[in-house]
Structure 1
């Protein structure tokens, strides 16, 4: 099955029949005197082939059975990370907003549940510009929702989506992604702060290139002293096949080969350093660690 805007919307229309309800603050981690909290933006309804299409079906089937997953439909969580250090309230990505899927776009409610409003966000750091990460940038008046925030994005990611040729080169299935990203980026073009791999973008927050899912995807190491966590966005996109078979191509990645190299690099680092990760689509808030499991890995939820 080829992913298209129509496929996604048709799948999303089924969501109310499956009882998907928004959750709010889902998990929290202390890093020194700061905190990382994951806030729900809801969930997605995706056709299974969005991820599984290039994978060997005979080897895939037992993995799906182990995780009680359907090959036809996936319902991944969307977890936005919020870093608070007493000075800055930093939101990693902005979620889907109201225009992508009816099961997503819950970030304002999730912030309200912990006593924050959009104006309390001081910075927004983007991992990448896919719809469920950037379409929540605009409010009902097509103005930036987090209107007092400084918006920050990796230079390579910005250049890719800003390029007028991207909409033609990305393929018909993702053309709407490019149009939607550009529209939202235009709202912040005069004020956005761009950065490169390896830069400390804010005190205690380091950008790490994790290209492949998109051409300029970034992860972020958050550190105070010896305590650290890695916000990985979609570089590790799920808790099942990405962990069990990191060498498999995923249909969700724009450059599948590069994404494989990135996953392997991240798993090597996360296991070697026993570092906590925060994954946008990982379950139950997305905070946990990586353990080796035979030839692959497994996600160990925090707590």
Structure 2
């Protein structure tokens, strides 16, 4: 288990503000998760590695039949009720992860990107600023998969790179699928927008893009893990420093009170549901068996904890977050 103190969880690097909640810039809308107009700041350690979840915001949409594709709406509503949540609305948060490894900064995923007007998402730059980091400071950007809420923050509103000094690492399987005109021509109509977005974002050579595969060490102590199913080349990451380990599973399990508790359920965003279910259970079993910390992109804030077996699924026990 990672070692941290209350002071460490509240603190940020000397260049940042020493507070746990930082005001969102006036141009940003207040997120439902931060009704007082603040963005949360949180830090934990894995041995010598510092980890910062970076909150990008949260969108809401109605809970309808088909969000979980292989369970009746009544069972899904019951899971919401058991989690002490209303059954009318889904709150979908987005959290990227910044690692400080050996003095270098590595960001996994980039959020929803620049938004027009007021928006509850697109706060990644504010979250970085809150810990004293500018986009120019990022050395490496790692993309888990090419869905829009993970890649749209790679570019500014004018199309220029958001992280001009960073190398951008992308999964080989994702690039092979989303950047292929033949795949786009064969895809369902509803998926065309995803192809267009990916191809526009990765056009040109100004992102310093290179591909990686499962098993590759992306930084000292950080290894890519094949986690396909949610998308064709979707990736997770195992991060190890000394005896402390973290499994960052990206979108392999969406909202935890649904898909950690019921790993055989399928969210409608999973492109290959059968493969996604097998991947989800494998990753959760690994985290439980190895007593790893585990983090997910849509798990709310803080988005990290431990999992243990519970019934036919697992229970997420979050790291305490002092206010």
TM-score by length of 2: 0.83
- Partner SS for 2:43: strand
- Partner SS for 2:97: strand
Shift in CA distance, 46/178, structure 1 to aligned 2, threshold 3 Å: farther
**Residue in 2 that maps onto 1:217:** 234
- Mapped pair 1:141 → 2:158: yes
Cα-Cα RMSD: 2.2
Shift in CA distance, 250/284, structure 1 to aligned 2, threshold 3 Å: same
Aligned mate of 1:290, from 285, 307, 310: 307
| Unaligned 5+ runs, structure 1 | 1-14
**Residue in 2 that maps onto 1:110:** 127
- Mapped pair 1:156 → 2:146: no
TM-score by length of 1: 0.88
Aligned mate of 1:24, from 32, 39, 47: 39
Aligned mate of 1:33, from 26, 48, 59: 48
**Residue in 2 that maps onto 1:165:** 182
- Partner SS for 2:42: strand
**Offset at residue 197 of structure 1 (A):** 0.8
Shift in CA distance, 75/187, structure 1 to aligned 2, threshold 3 Å: farther
Structure with the larger helix share? 1
- Mapped pair 1:98 → 2:114: yes
> Are the counterparts in 1 of residues 31 and 57 from structure 2 also a CA contact under 8 Å?
no
- Mapped pair 1:77 → 2:93: yes
**Offset at residue 289 of structure 1 (A):** 0.8
| Unaligned 5+ runs, structure 2 | 1-28
**Offset at residue 38 of structure 1 (A):** 0.2
CA distance in 2, matches of 1:135, 1:40: 15
Q: Deviation string for 1:166-188 (max 9, x for gaps)?
A: 33444233321221111111144
Range with greater deviation from structure 2 (266-275 or 183-192): 183-192
Q: Deviation string for 1:261-303 (max 9, x for gaps)?
A: 0011011101000100111111222011112222221111112
CA distance in 2, matches of 1:127, 1:25: 23
> Are the counterparts in 2 of residues 82 and 89 from structure 1 also a CA contact under 8 Å?
yes
**Residue in 2 that maps onto 1:43:** 58
Shift in CA distance, 212/70, structure 1 to aligned 2, threshold 3 Å: farther
Range with greater deviation from structure 2 (79-88 or 271-280): 79-88
> Are the counterparts in 2 of residues 37 and 81 from structure 1 also a CA contact under 8 Å?
yes
- Mapped pair 1:184 → 2:196: no
CA distance in 1, matches of 2:120, 2:298: 14
Structure 1 stretches of at least 4 aligned residues deviating more than 6 Å after TM superposition: none
**Residue in 2 that maps onto 1:240:** 257
Aligned mate of 2:145, from 128, 134, 137: 128
